[in-house]
């Protein structure tokens, strides 16, 4: 199941977004995810590790069918207060989703894969339930600010003490090992996490700048392997008499199989 947030961590996580600098980073990350998802009205979307529902708020009022899952009851309680009945919420782990194959058009992770016990299994489950695309948003191991977070987590216990940071190459290697040579498209954002403003936001959203491997946040889109439902076909057996050449009598038969 991975790391499960308790009550204190859930409330602290939610309060983190109220700080102006953090909100600026969140807005950049959500915009990148939305660009990668390219959602259309009427689509079914699954947020895996939805937490307190912050990542689902920008998807409201877009004509989407929204579902969120998280292993923490405290996170889901806050998400329910924020989202009401506009989102279908479930308590479960990312490695064992209670949905049928191809139940959604898009599934995405927003800084939740970092806390999965078996991230490869979580991605495999996402690809099982998503028909069109899976989008992964994670904290970049090679970003300077995340390097500082990792070091701080070793010394001072915090949520970053339980966070697994990913690199672009690590993610791609994991995806190819699960799915084979599937199309992968990635971008990063948060190149300048401590600077805010309209101009810096325009720079951050530039497609060339987002090809940097040092952005704080990695957004990666993959196309799941096509899945085919197999319907058993009836096997028809037709007997034919074989005439004995010596006696002229039909003494045996053989079965001809056809589908």
**pLDDT at residue 257, rounded to an integer:** 44
pLDDT digits (tens, 9 = 90+) for 118-155: 999 999 999 999 999 999 999 999 999 988 888 877 77
User: Topology of 7-230 in CATH?
Assistant: Rossmann fold (3.40.50)
**pLDDT at residue 245, rounded to an integer:** 55
pLDDT digits (tens, 9 = 90+) for 19-73: 888 899 999 999 999 999 999 999 999 999 999 999 999 999 999 999 999 999 9
3-state SS, residue 228: coil
**pLDDT at residue 246, rounded to an integer:** 54
Give the residue carrying structure tokens 């699960």.
178
Q: What does the domain layout of the chain look like in residue ranges? A: 7-230
| Average pLDDT along the chain | 87
Q: Six-digit token pair at 77?
A: 């309680």
Backbone angles phi, psi at 136, to 5 degrees: -115, 125
pLDDT digits (tens, 9 = 90+) for 96-124: 999 999 999 999 999 999 999 999 999 99
18 pLDDT above the threshold of 70:
yes
What is the rounded distance in angstroms from the CA atom of residue 87 to the CA atom of residue 8?
A: 24
79 pLDDT above the threshold of 50:
yes
């Amino acid at each position: 199941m991975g790391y499960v947030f308790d009550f204190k961590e859930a409330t602290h996580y939610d309060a983190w977004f109220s700080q102006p600098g953090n909100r600026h980073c969140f807005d950049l990350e959500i915009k990148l995810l939305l660009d990668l998802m390219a959602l259309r009205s009427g689509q079914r979307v699954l947020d895996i590790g939805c937490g307190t529902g912050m990542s689902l708020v920008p998807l409201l009022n877009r004509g989407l069918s929204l579902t969120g899952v998280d292993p923490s009851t405290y996170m889901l309680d806050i998400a329910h207060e924020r989202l009401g009945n506009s989102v279908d919420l479930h308590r479960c782990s990312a490695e064992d989703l209670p949905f049928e194959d191809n139940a959604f058009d898009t599934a995405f992770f927003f800084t939740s894969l970092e806390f999965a016990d078996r991230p490869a299994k979580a991605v495999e489950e996402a690809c099982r339930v998503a028909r069109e695309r899976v989008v992964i948003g994670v904290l970049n191991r090679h970003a300077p600010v995340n390097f500082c977070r990792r070091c701080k987590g070793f010394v001072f216990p915090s949520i970053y003490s339980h966070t697994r940071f990913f690199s672009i190459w690590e993610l791609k290697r994991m995806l190819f090992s699960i799915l084979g040579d599937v199309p992968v498209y990635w971008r990063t954002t948060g190149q300048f996490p401590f600077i805010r403003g309209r101009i810096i936001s325009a720079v951050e959203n530039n497609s060339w700048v987002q090809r940097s491997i040092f952005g704080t946040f990695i957004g990666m889109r993959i196309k799941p392997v096509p899945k085919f439902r197999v319907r058993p076909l009836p096997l028809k057996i037709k007997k034919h008499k074989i005439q004995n050449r010596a006696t002229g009598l039909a003494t045996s038969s053989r079965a001809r199989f056809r589908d």
